[in-house]
Amino acid sequence: MLITEAFAQTAPAASPGGTDLLMSVLPFLLIFVVMYFLIIRPQRAAMKRREELLKNIRRGDQVVTGGGVIGKVTKVIDDKELEVEIAEGIKVRVVRSGVTEVRVKGEPVKE
């Protein structure tokens, strides 16, 4: 006889496909972890630093606005607005979130 008998092979009953699922999901989990540590976490830290910078602006600070205008804070109007002197005698109101950089910290207000 040239043909041999074939025996049916069965998978173990304990874990049918359990490792296959883990191996297909594992790369996605690893990619998410790497993305978290390389992109999401540093971005959150930068946002916290920016919020702290904007919160601590006070009178006398030299600031740069989003449009590139450099001026000196003459008055903190409220939590959202500042009065900035951009030239001698020329004062403009600036939204606090429009400030991109604080160059020179002013001295604290004397009480």
pLDDT digits (tens, 9 = 90+) for 27-57: 999 999 999 999 999 999 999 999 999 998 9
Residues 6+ apart with CB under 8 A from 63: 57, 70, 71, 72, 73, 82, 84, 94, 99, 101, 102, 103
Give whole-number Cα distances, 108 to 7, 15, 56, 85, 89, in Å.
88, 68, 11, 18, 22
pLDDT of residue 72 exceeding 70, the answer is: yes
Q: Please tell me the least confidently modeled range out of 27-31, 59-63, 104-108.
A: 104-108
Checking if the pLDDT of 19 tops 80, the result is: no
What pLDDT is stored for residue 7 in this prediction? 64
pTM of the model: 0.62
Instruction: Identify the residue with better confidence: 2 or 35.
Output: 35
pLDDT at residue number 74? 93
The pLDDT of residue 92 is above 90: yes
The torsion angles phi and psi of 81, rounded to 5 degrees, stand at: -130, 150
Extents of the domains making up the chain = 18-56, 58-103
Q: Sign of torsion, CA 101 106 76 69?
A: negative
Contact at 8 Å (CB) between 85 and 60? no
